[in-house]
Amino acid sequence: MSTEFCDGADIVPILKSLIGQKIVKIEYVGDSPSLITDQGVGITVTTNEGCGGCSNGWSTFEFFDDLVDSENAIVDVGIEDGEGSESLTISIFKENGNVSKILTDDGYGNGYYGGGFTVEISNVRR
């Protein structure tokens, strides 16, 4: 098991290795989602907690709970540059033919409160 602080492009090569795998289970470790693939890989993402009075420093990781209820496959991972921030996107092909994106925001804002994610990749025994 390994834990590493990642932001933006640092995590892309790790997640690209998961292309073709299906998300079969979503568990929570506290408030952090853990996506479990059909190959027994667990991806736990902990977001950064920022300022108590504004949105600076709060990173987000939004996904769809319905992934485990349908056939799906990870088809792409990339970075999209936004206005003053970058977002990691994980594209998921679903059985209805739609492609959904798991969206993130690094949350750096003004930079004073940090940002990014802690990502733990682990082998899950099934």
pLDDT in tens, the chain (126 residues): 455 555 556 777 878 888 999 888 888 877 788 888 899 888 887 888 889 898 888 888 776 666 667 788 889 988 777 665 667 788 888 888 888 777 777 778 788 888 877 777 778 765
Cα-atom radius of gyration of the chain, to the nearest Å?
A: 14
Q: Record the pTM.
A: 0.72
pLDDT value of residue 20: 93
pLDDT value of residue 95: 82
